[in-house]
């Protein structure tokens, strides 16, 4: 049954641990501190990997808590410059592309922890010290799964560090809602933002170029978010289809009417 995976009874349906996880994680760590962001300071990438692996190796992959990752996250911590924090929900790919191009924002995936683990899968198994390369719990198959607890815990650390002018990128064409209180942004990051450190929050509501304009600034779940921000005492502004980000969407659809520079 689910929650009782012991190596003989494959109950999960998520992708197994990424092949060569150790080499990838240690390599990415060295790439990050050596080339991508030397300001992160000196880190022992082998020790970081060992600390990370000890969180989930030989353990039930559904019994890994957010707290379990704290030693690793503390060891990997580094400054996030003021004004560079950018949160997202249902716009991960677009936000990463924007960050890679403009280089003046630092989403979680551009911090050491996020950079090391982005796009990877990992989990252990109770019956063996080998990681499970066959299957891992899918995101919703259990609450305290190895990957979900990692991203939640990393998000708490990331949100607490935000300062200056903060950005939030949401999807105005979401099939559900642009702002979901149950998302990591809505349930974890929002509550950990510090009014004393943050000067203002900019919401960027991006519609898919070919998708429908379901929600906008001041409408639907965005209005709910704006009320929540106001109650918490944040200064905020909201922009529909922030042009620099829209121009990245336009790379894939240059003929779209929203992409026409000289109408």
Q: How far is the CB of 37 from ligand APR (least distance, A)?
A: 17
Torsion angles phi and psi, residue 189, rounded to 5 = -70, -45
* Residues linked to residue 237 through DSSP beta bridges, in sequence order: 202
- Taking the least distance from each CB to ligand APR, the nearer of 30 and 92 is 92
User: Which residues neighbour 192 within 8 Å (Cβ) at sequence distance 6 or greater?
Assistant: 155, 156, 159, 160
Q: How far is the CB of 132 from ligand APR (least distance, A)?
A: 17
- Taking the least distance from each CB to ligand APR, the nearer of 139 and 252 is 139
Alpha-carbon gap, residue 209 to 22, rounded angstroms:
39
Q: How far is the CB of 181 from ligand APR (least distance, A)?
A: 10
Q: How far is the CB of 185 from ligand APR (least distance, A)?
A: 3
Helix (H) or strand (E) holding 168, with range, is: strand 164-171
Alpha-carbon gap, residue 260 to 29, rounded angstroms:
41
When CB distances to ligand APR are compared, the closest residue is: 139
Q: Do the beta carbons of residue 218 and residue 226 sit within 8 Å?
A: yes
- Taking the least distance from each CB to ligand APR, the nearer of 130 and 134 is 134
β 164-171/236-240 pair status = unpaired
Q: Do the beta carbons of residue 139 and residue 20 sit within 8 Å?
A: no
Q: How far is the CB of 153 from ligand APR (least distance, A)?
A: 11
Q: What angle do CA 45, 51, 55 make, to 5 degrees?
A: 140
- For binding to ligand APR (CB under 6 A), which residues are involved? 87-90, 92, 108, 139-140, 151, 155, 158, 183-185, 189
Q: How far is the CB of 176 from ligand APR (least distance, A)?
A: 9
């Amino acid at each position: 049954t689910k929650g009782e995976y012991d190596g003989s009874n494959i109950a999960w349906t998520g992708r197994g641990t990424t092949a060569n996880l150790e080499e990838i994680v240690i390599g990415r760590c060295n790439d990050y501190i050596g080339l991508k962001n030397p300001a992160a300071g000196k880190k022992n990438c082998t020790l970081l990997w060992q600390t990370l692996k000890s969180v989930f190796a030989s353990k039930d992959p559904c019994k890994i808590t957010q707290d379990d990752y704290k030693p690793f996250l503390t060891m990997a911590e580094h400054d996030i410059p003021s004004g560079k924090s950018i949160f997202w929900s249902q716009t991960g790919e677009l936000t990463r592309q924007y960050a890679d191009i403009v280089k003046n924002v630092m989403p979680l995936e551009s911090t050491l922890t996020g950079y090391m683990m982005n796009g990877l899968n990992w989990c252990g198994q109770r019956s063996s010290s080998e990681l499970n390369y066959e299957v891992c719990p899918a995101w919703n198959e259990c609450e305290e799964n190895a990957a979900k607890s990692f991203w939640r815990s990393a998000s708490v650390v990331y949100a607490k560090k935000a300062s200056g002018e903060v950005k939030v990128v949401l999807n105005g064409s979401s099939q559900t809602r642009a702002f979901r209180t149950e998302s990591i942004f809505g349930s974890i990051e929002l509550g950990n933002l510090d009014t004393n450190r943050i000067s203002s929050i900019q919401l960027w509501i991006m519609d898919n170029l070919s998708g429908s304009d379901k929600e906008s600034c001041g409408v639907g779940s965005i209005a709910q978010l704006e009320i929540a921000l106001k109650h918490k005492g944040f200064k905020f502004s909201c922009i529909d289809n922030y042009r620099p980000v829209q121009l990245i969407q336009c790379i894939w659809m240059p003929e779209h009417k929203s992409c026409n520079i000289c109408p």
